[in-house]
Structure 1
Amino acid sequence: MSDTALLIIDVQTGVVDGEMRAARLDAVLDSLNLAIAKARGSDMPVIFIQHEEDDLPRGSGAWQLHPQLARQDGDAVVHKRYGDSFCDTDLARLLSARGIAKLWIGGAATDFCVDSTLRNAVSRGYQVTVIADGHTTLSAFALSGEQVIDHFNAIWQASSATPLPLRVLPAAEL
């Protein structure tokens, strides 16, 4: 079993394909599915993170993971109520039980849940690789979703003050 796990955060129908469609969604889904295939080929666990809140209730159609994701029955699913996937969830225990030291991270939303999770993972001592073409967000705050994605990739790439290197790679280079 690998010491690396793939985390796919909040790629849920209502999050990425609801009233507004997330930036580069089709390409992001393709990249995530490529990462899933690479993870499975390396005997890495694939863990899906699923957000819920009052306007995204558990069990609703909007809450469901996106149907184009290449999920399998044995994949772990972690449910959360906060942006950070470690906050008040069993994610840390799940990773520890599997001997995971490294994470590949992708999903939604770049500027909220993905960023919060990867920063907490880095602080917890995980070696993190962000899938550069495997995360997305909505346009907001006068920025397009594409601008937000590009901005965060640049910020993460430039982050050198981390205990272990924070890598940003396209799915094809994982």
Structure 2
Amino acid sequence: MTTLPDRPRSALLVTDVQKGVVAHAHRRDEVIAHIAALVERAREQHAPVVWVQHSDDHIEQGTESWEYVPELVRREDEPLVPKHYADAFENTGLEAVLAGHRVGRLVVAGAQTDECIRATLHGAFTRGYDVTLVADAHTTQDLTAYGAPPPAQVIAHTNLYWQGHRGSGRRAGTADTADVTFTPASGEG
């Protein structure tokens, strides 16, 4: 139902699952296992897997903290999009990558829920994409010392908010890892 013409495909967007980003993430191992299952499913269903990798003053490109976690291995033919802002579309080549693969629906997983995941969800949706957030495949660290709710509440609130998000001519929603498919006839989201 995307508003983007001639974009029938779905893609998995693996966002910022880097050593320094998820080192202290809530339910880190469980979330990474779910993302690994999504990567395998996308590959089996011939859907593009697009990897997003953040760098800034805190996570410098080329450092160990900038590297993807070892549990997730990108194939050489899978696009890698470097970014410097929370929204993976902001000043990156992500749109060109997705257009080249005729993608109109994104399945989003990764970190951090309260910044890069939320910004990318909104960035995709406002650009006309259908966007499914994988409810059990995103995470964040504990920022309660700065006044944020505990990580489990941040994740739950984001899932609640996104499952009810609406817009003209496109769909948003959530799905658990077990229910995600990448085929054009997919009913979730």
TM-score in same-fold range (> 0.5):
yes
Q: 2:39 aligns with which of 36, 53, 58?
A: 36
Give a deviation string over 1:32-73, Cα, whole Å, max 9, x none: 011111100110111110000112111000000111114322
Secondary structure of residue in 1 paired with 2:65: coil
Take 2:84 and 2:148, find their aligned partners in 1: how far apart are those partners?
26
- 1:82 and 2:85 are equivalent in the alignment: yes
2:12 matches 1:9 = no
Q: What does residue 170 of structure 2 align with? A: 164
Shift in alpha-carbon separation, 1:162–1:112, aligned structure 2, 3 A = farther
Shift in Å at residue 163 of structure 1?
3.6
Unaligned runs of 5+ in 2: 1-7, 181-189
1:119 maps to 122
Give the aligned residue type for 1:58.
Answer: Q
Q: Aligned ranges for residues 52-67 of structure 1 at < 5 Å? A: 52-67=55-70
Residues 91-110 of structure 1 mapped to structure 2, 5 A cutoff? 91-110=94-113
Report the RMSD for the aligned CA atoms in angstroms.
1.2
- 2-side partners of 1:89 and 1:160: how far apart? 25
Question: Which is worse superposed, 137-146 or 38-47?
Answer: 137-146
Any gaps of 5 or more consecutive residues in structure 1? none
- Distance in 2 between residues matched to 1:107 and 1:93, nearest whole Å: 21
Q: Measure the CA separation in 2 of the matches of 1:30 and 1:162.
A: 34
Q: Distance in 2 between matches of 1:4 and 1:96?
A: 11
Q: Which residue of 1 aligns with 2:156?
A: 150
How many percent of aligned residue pairs carry the same amino acid? 36
- Asked whether the 8 Å contact 1:24–1:146 carries over to 2, the reply is no
Alpha-carbon distance in 1 for matches of 2:83, 2:132? 21
Secondary structure at the residue paired with 2:170? coil
- TM-score normalised by structure 2 residue count: 0.86
Whether contact under 8 Å (1:122, 1:163) holds in the other structure is no
Which consecutive segments of 4 or more residues in structure 1 shift more than 4 A? none
